[in-house]
Amino acid sequence: MKPTSLRLVAISDTHSKHGQLEIPAGDVLIHAGDFTRIGSLDDIAEFNRWLGTLPHRHKIIIAGNHDWGFQLAPEPARMLITNAMYLQDSGATVAGVRFWGSPWQPWFMDWAFNLKYPAELREKWDLIPADTEVLITHGPPLGFGDRTMNGHAAGCGELLAAIRRIRPKVHICGHIHEGYGAVTHQGTAFINASSCDFHYQAINPPIVWDLEPPGKTD
């Protein structure tokens, strides 16, 4: 029997407005960070309860720059997530597909998970295993889903270099709300799944992506 594809359902930057979204069915629900407003433990607990109402067999989340609880009180925050796998510079294998998640992004107004460019960021991206097939980061790589309202390319060049080296099948991010959308380039699907628009209105639908059966293709 021919292996079936794995359906990914990607969201990001819901900012505690996740309840306003219509979430389609799929195999793996992925949230690429900023699921809270300021990362309070109450907001994290409420988000976890919402995750528990969803039918997806697998759920993977990472933190973003608004999710302060995971930086300031990491152990209590992580203990609140019981309805998903939380990744922070770590990986998981789901249905034979290798996932990796990381919350870091270039320094932005001293928010959570900010690092100085380029050396500190390069150190984090060097942790990504070479066999990663689905890479989840909060911030976008340079040139893909990173264009701000004023036209500035806010993505990370060091992340783009890592993606070019690793060649994942899919890269999922958020952070730059205006960058919502998906494009495929040189064998990698670049997805900015920001659910909120520039005005923090949760109007962007989840992005669904069917991943071909496990095994890296050239």
In a domain, 1, yes or no: no
92, β-bridge pairs? 99
* Residue 3: pLDDT band with limits 50, 70, 90: low
Residue of 217 and 190 predicted with greater confidence: 190
pLDDT exceeds 90 at position 210? yes
Q: What is the pLDDT of residue 1?
A: 35
What's the average model confidence in pLDDT over 70-82? 98
Q: 70, 105 in Cβ contact below 8 A?
A: no
The pLDDT score that the predictor gives to residue 108 is 86
Confidence of residue 4 (pLDDT cuts 50, 70, 90): confident
pLDDT in the model for residue 214: 55
| Among 64, 13, 7, CA closest to 192 | 13
Q: Which amino acid is at 97?
A: V
The answer to whether the CB of 101 falls within 8 A of the CB of 63 is no
- Predicted TM-score (pTM) of the model is 0.96
Question: Is 145 inside a domain boundary?
Answer: yes
Residue 41 included in any domain: yes
pLDDT at residue 78 in the model? 98
User: Running DSSP on this structure, what letter comes out for residue 196?
Assistant: B
| Interval 54-76 mean pLDDT | 98
Residue 173 one-letter amino acid: C
What is the domain-level CATH number for residue 109? Answer: 3.60.21.10
What average pLDDT does this structure show over 140-162? 97
Nearest to 191 by CA among 67, 30, 36, 60: 30
In this prediction, residue 2 carries a pLDDT of: 44
> Residue 50 belongs to what domain range?
6-211
Rounded Cα distance, 46 and 145, in Å? 29
Asked whether the predicted pLDDT for residue 125 surpasses 50, the reply is yes
Residue 118 sits at the vertex; the CA angle it makes with 188 and 93, to the nearest 5 degrees, is: 40
Q: Is residue 199 part of a domain?
A: yes
How is residue 13 annotated by DSSP? -
Residue 218 lies in a domain: no
* Across 18-32, 105-119, 161-175, 189-203, least confident range: 105-119
Helix (H) and strand (E) counts for the chain? Answer: 5, 13
Q: Which residues contact residue 75 at a Cβ distance below 8 angstroms, ignoring those fewer than 6 apart?
A: none
CB atoms within 10 A of CB 182: 17
**Is the model's pLDDT at 128 over the cut of 90?**
yes
pLDDT above 70 for 25: yes
DSSP 107-170: --TT-TTEE-TTHHHHHHHTTS-TT-SEEEESSPBTTSS-B-TTS-B--BHHHHHHHHHH--SE
Confidence of residue 178 (pLDDT cuts 50, 70, 90): very high
Beta bridge partners of 12: 194
Q: Report yes or no on 216 lying in a domain.
A: no
Per the structure, the count of domains in the chain is 1
- Span 194-200, average pLDDT: 98
Residues 6 or more apart whose Cβ sits within 8 Å of residue 201: none
At residue 101, the pLDDT reads 99
Task: Supply the pLDDT for residue 218.
Answer: 38
Averaged confidence pLDDT in the chain: 95
Of the candidates 182, 138, 190, 145, the residue with the CA atom closest to the CA atom of residue 163: 190
The answer to whether residue 120 is domain-embedded is yes
Element (H, E) at 44: helix 41-52
CA-based nearest residue to 188, from 214, 217, 152? 217
Torsion of CA 162, 191, 48, 197, to 10 degrees: 120
